[in-house]
Amino acid sequence: MKRVAVLGGGPAGAMTAERLASAGVDTVILDEKLAWEKPCGGGITYKAYREYPFLLENDTPKKIVRRSFLAESRVGAVGMELTQPLLIYSRKDLNGMMLKRAEKAGAQVEQARVMGIERRDSGWEVRTKTGSLTADYVVVATGARNPLRDVGTQWTAGDTMIALGYYVPAAQEHIDIHFFPQFEGYIWVFPRCGHLSVGICGKGESSAALRARLESYMREKEISLKDAMFFAHAIPALESGAFRNNRVAGDGWMAVGDAAGLVDPVTGEGLYYAFRSGDLASQALLNDAHPLAERADVYRRMMRHDFMEDLIFGAGLAKRFFIQRFLFSTVPARMIEFMRKSPRFREIVQDLFAGTQGYLDLKKRLMESLNGTLLELFMGTMLGTRVVKEPNG
C-alpha cells in the first residue's frame, strides 16, 4: 500500500491521516472547506479525551465546563456537577487543530472538492475540480452529506435527525439541556469561547417546526436573537436495523465518522466516534498480518468489538427514552425526578454525560441502583425488558 487518499478533513479524516502518515504511509487529505464551523455544540466527552489526551492537552481555545442543568417542560430543572468536565470547542478551531496535527505527521493537505471516485485495477482514481490523483485505498470521511453514493453509509430519512440553531453573542458557564413531552430530541445551550451555541436536534418534525420550537424557548429564556448567526445541518441517527446493515467498508475503502453513520442515537454525540473510527481505520490499514483485500473486514470486526453493539442497543433505546411514558409522565421527566432524590442515579447520568456508561451494561447498573416495583417499571419502559425476581427475592 503506497498511497491512501482521505476524502474529508474533519476530525475523523484528520485522525486517520495523522495515524497513517505517522506510520510512514503516503497520505493525502482532500477537503473542499478544510477547517470550518460545523453546526453543533462541539462537546468532547471525558471518554474521548481520556482515550486521546491531546484533546485536552493543547493550546487550542476551548471551554472546560463543569456544571449542567437538565430540564423537562413539566417538572423543571435539576443541576448536576460534572465529575468529569466536558470540553467545548469551536468546530473550526477543533478541525484546524486536527489538520495541523495530520500535516505535522507528514500528511499532504489539499483544499479540493472531490467530484467522484472510480475503481482502477487494484487502486482508485479520485477526481477533483482541478484534476485527479491515484490511490491504493480511500478513506471516506465526507460527513453526513456524503456525495459518493457507492461508498459509506446508506440511510433513509428515518435514519437522520435535523440539527439547527444559532451562535449567540452571549456568555454563561454551564450547559443547559431541555427535553419536551413527545419529542424525539432536545434543545441545548453550550458555552463556547466568545459565544453560545443554542440549538435543537430531533426527529419527526420539520425544520420549520424545530426552529419555531427553539425560538419560543429562546424567548422564554430571554436569549436574544440580535446578531445571532443561524445554522442547520442533518446528522446521522440510525435505527437499529440500519446500524446492523451499516455499510462501513468495502473493496478498497473504509468510511469513518459521520460518513459511516457513527453517532450516538440518543445524545447525537459524534465526536468520540469520529476520533475512534479514524483510529481503528488506521490500525486496520496498517495491519500487515492481513492482505490488503481483507482489511475492510478487519475494520468491521474491530468496530463491532469496540462500540458498534452499544450503538445498536442505544438505537433501540432512543425512541423509548424520548417518546414512551413512565408513571404517567415522560422518561426524561422521571429521570430528572430520580436525579433529585437519588445520588446513585445522578452518578449514572453523570457517567452517561462523560461517555463512560455504555448502553449495554446500563441495565445491570440500574438494577443495582433501583429497587422493587419501581425498578421493574423503569426497566420495562426504558430497556424494553422485565425484571424477573428470584423466588425468595
pLDDT of residue 383: 53
Question: Do both 104 and 216 map to the same domain?
Answer: no
* Grid cell digits, residue 175: 450547559
Residue of 229, 230, 214 lying closest to 176 (CA atoms) = 214
What is the 3 state secondary structure string of 47-65?
A: HHHHHCHHHCCCCCCCEEE
Last residue of a domain, one of 314, 343, 364: 314
**Rounded mean pLDDT, 342-367:** 88
Rounded CA separation 305/324 (Å): 30
Q: Is residue 77 part of a domain?
A: no
Residue 62, domain member (yes or no): no
Q: Please report whether residue 70 resides in a domain.
A: no
Instruction: Tell me whether residue 390 is in a domain.
Output: no
Q: What is the pLDDT of residue 388?
A: 41
Statement to judge: residues 271 and 375 lie in one domain: no
Looking at residue 51, its amino acid is E
Q: Look at residue 375 in the predicted model and tell me its pLDDT.
A: 52
Number of structural domains in the chain: 3
Lowest mean pLDDT among 11-15, 162-166, 343-347: 343-347
Pair 329, 197 in one domain: no
* 293 and 244 within one domain: yes
Q: Is 139 helix (H, G, I), strand (E, B) or coil?
A: strand
Is there a domain that residue 55 lies in? Answer: no
In Å, how far are 1, 99, 332 from 19, measured between CA atoms? 15, 12, 40
Residues 223 and 196: beta-carbon distance below 8 Å? yes
Distance CA 126, CA 119 (A): 9
Most confident of 237-246, 290-299, 362-371: 290-299
pLDDT tens for residues 51-65?
999 999 999 999 999
What whole-number percentage of the chain has pLDDT above 70?
Answer: 93
SS3 for 114? Answer: strand
- Same structural domain for residues 218 and 251? no
Question: Rounded distance, CA 170 to CA 172, Å?
Answer: 7
Residues 32 and 122 both lie in one domain: yes
Q: Which domain holds residue 305?
A: 3-42+89-155+239-314
- Mean per-residue pLDDT of the chain: 90
Overall average pLDDT of the 234-263 stretch: 93
- Is the per-residue pLDDT at 124 higher than 60? yes
Residue 355 lies in a domain: yes
Nearest-5° angle of CA 308, CA 312, CA 314? 115
Q: Among all chains, which residue has been given the C-alpha cell 462501513? A: 248
Q: What is the pLDDT of residue 229?
A: 93
Element of type H or E holding 343: helix 343-354
pLDDT for 371: 60
What pLDDT does 382 receive? 53
Q: Which of 236, 270, 301 is the last residue of a domain?
A: 236
Q: Tell whether 50 is covered by a domain.
A: no
Which among 173, 223, 174, 180 is positioned nearest to 201, based on CA atoms?
A: 180
Looking at the fold, whether 13 and 140 belong to one and the same domain comes out as yes
DSSP-based three-state secondary structure for 164: strand
On whether both 30 and 113 belong to a single domain, the answer is yes
284 and 189 belong to one structural domain: no
- The CATH number for 187's domain is 3.30.9.10
Indicate which CATH number applies to the domain containing 37: 3.50.50.60
Of 209, 236, 263, which residue sits at a domain end? Answer: 236
Contact 144, 233 (CB under 8 A): yes
How far is Cα 163 from Cα 186, in angstroms, rounded to an integer?
A: 10
Q: Locate cell 419527526: which residue?
A: 204
Kindly state whether residues 173 and 110 are assigned to the same domain: no
Q: Which amino acid belongs to residue 149?
A: R
Residue 198 lies in a domain: yes
Q: How far apart are the first and last CA of the chain?
A: 60
228 and 165 fall within a common domain:
yes
Using CA atoms, how far apart are residues 226 and 235, in angstroms rounded to an integer? 27
Q: For residue 187, what pLDDT is reported?
A: 97
pLDDT of residue 201: 94
Measure the CA angle with vertex 64, ends 63 and 70; round to 5°: 100
- Kindly state whether residues 230 and 342 are assigned to the same domain: no
Q: What does DSSP assign to residue 35?
A: S
pLDDT of residue 392: 38
Distances (CA, A) of 192 to 41, 79, 82, 95, 121: 8, 19, 17, 15, 48
CA 156 to the chain's CA centroid = 18
Bridge-based pairing state of the strands 108-111 and 26-31: parallel
Please choose, from the candidates 246, 278, 281, 240, the residue with its C-alpha nearest in 3D space to the C-alpha of residue 260: 246
Average pLDDT over residues 370-390: 50
